[in-house]
Structure 1
Amino acid sequence: MLRIAPVTDPAPCFALREEVFMAEQGFTAEEEWDDLDASAEHLLATLDGTPVGTARLLEEDGAGRIGRICVVKAQRGTGLGAALVRAGIERLAAQGHTRITLGAQVRVMGFYEGLGFVAFGPEYDDGGVPHREMELRLKA
């Protein structure tokens, strides 16, 4: 059974980010960890009680922001990533946000476009990986 919910202890979320972003994708600790984690809401996806995905939710420049979205390799392509992003959108919308932003790795922009996000602004480098900002506008 899949469950996606906010957590009060983000340790399992941090472990997933270490596995996916640092061990698998090669980001350094300096690139992965920042002071935003302390004020973020962390979503954890579990499958039969096992952590399989995470995302963090923030407010930035008046918009809701979804970041640090990751899914363990064994669960990619199952719809879990989309469910995680949709859960983040729902939580941010419930807080009154009508604009949701994220920084997407260029190679997976099509995934976010499929969820309604549109790219804006120039491509930028984040840890040696090309990224673009994307946004989703919700009806007020």
Structure 2
Amino acid sequence: MNKISVRLADWHKDNADIHRIRSAVFVAEQHVPPELEFDAEDPTAVHFLALEGDYPIGTARLLPDGTIGRVSVLRDWRGLNVGDALMRAVIVEAQNRDLTKQMLSAQVHATPFYERLGFRVVSEEFLEAGIPHVDMVRDSREIA
């Protein structure tokens, strides 16, 4: 396996790769309707691509208010710390933009992953696109 890297993505230039990854993970695997997966916030979000060599294998986005979302890694690369690398890059970028409070809606099964990164659950469980979620928050000022 090649080295995993994460870079900022350009929504227009990298759209095909972002769309391919999110469609595979959310639309095909998790049956999220495409009209819910791709929304009006995509063009103004900061996007990230995780790559193995030059091949995009994961993506995430950061909204101007510090909300992180659409975190997705292709099935064959899960369990290889790609999600960790992706999230760490998003957190660093958020902090560089003075977004000390990062928020996300996590699928319930993924909460331990986000807790390892300093997020804490701040809501009751709810359904989003038919999948159980919780809201989570990470405040960089509280984390040493």
Secondary structure, aligned partner of 2:41: helix
Q: What's the CA shift string for 1:82-107, capped at 9, x where partnerless?
A: 11001000000000111011110011
CA distance in 1, matches of 2:55, 2:83: 15
Q: Which residue number in structure 2 is paired with residue 10 of structure 1?
A: 14
Q: What's the CA shift string for 1:72-129, capped at 9, x where partnerless?
A: 1111111110110010000000001110111100111111111110000222211100
Q: Which residue number in structure 2 is paired with residue 78 of structure 1?
A: 80
The runs of at least 4 consecutive aligned structure 1 residues that moved more than 3 Å come to none
Q: Which residue number in structure 2 is paired with residue 112 of structure 1?
A: 114
Secondary structure, aligned partner of 2:136: strand
Q: How many residues align?
A: 137
Identity rate of aligned residues, in percent?
36
Alignment of 1:47 onto 2:29: no
CA distance in 2, matches of 1:39, 1:10: 14
Q: Displacement of 1:14 after TM fit?
A: 1.5
Whether the 8 Å CA contact 1:53–1:69 is kept in 2: the answer is yes
More strand by proportion, 1 or 2? 1
Whether the 8 Å CA contact 1:10–1:42 is kept in 2: the answer is no
User: Under a length normalisation based on structure 1, what TM-score does the superposition of the two structures give?
Assistant: 0.93
- Amino acid aligned to 2:105: G
CA RMSD in angstroms comes to 1.2
Unaligned ranges ≥5, structure 2: none
User: Under a length normalisation based on structure 2, what TM-score does the superposition of the two structures give?
Assistant: 0.91
Q: Which residue number in structure 1 is paired with residue 39 of structure 2?
A: 34
Q: Which residue number in structure 2 is paired with residue 95 of structure 1?
A: 97
Whether the 8 Å CA contact 2:5–2:85 is kept in 1: the answer is no
Secondary structure, aligned partner of 2:99: coil
Secondary structure, aligned partner of 1:35: coil
Unaligned ranges ≥5, structure 1: none
- Amino acid aligned to 1:39: T
Q: Displacement of 1:10 after TM fit?
A: 3.3
